[in-house]
Amino acid sequence: MPSPDGHSAEAAASLSDLLGTNYGAMRRLLPAEIYRVDLAAEADDVPGRTQWFAAGSPVLVVVGVDDTEVKVGDPAVRWDGHTPVLHARRVYRLPRTLARADAASKEEFDRELEFLVRRTRWLRMRRFRRCHECARMTPPEWRTSPDLCQSCAERNHGVVH
Ligand SMILES: [Zn+2]
Q: What is the pLDDT of residues 97-129, one digit of tens each?
A: 888 888 899 889 999 999 999 999 999 999 999
Its domain, for residue 119, covers 8-127
Note whether residue 98 is domain-resident: yes
**Distance separating alpha carbons of residues 105 and 20, to the nearest angstrom:** 13
* pLDDT for res 45: 67
Q: How far is the CA of 2 from the centre of ligand 1 (A)?
A: 22
Q: How far is the CA of 135 from the centre of ligand 1 (A)?
A: 6
Q: What ranges in the chain are assigned the alpha helix state H?
A: 8-19, 23-29, 96-100, 103-125, 150-157
Q: How far is the CA of 130 from the centre of ligand 1 (A)?
A: 8
Please give the model's pTM, rounded to 2 decimal places.
Answer: 0.86
29 lies in the same domain as 102: yes
Q: How far is the CA of 57 from the centre of ligand 1 (A)?
A: 16
146 lies in the same domain as 98: no
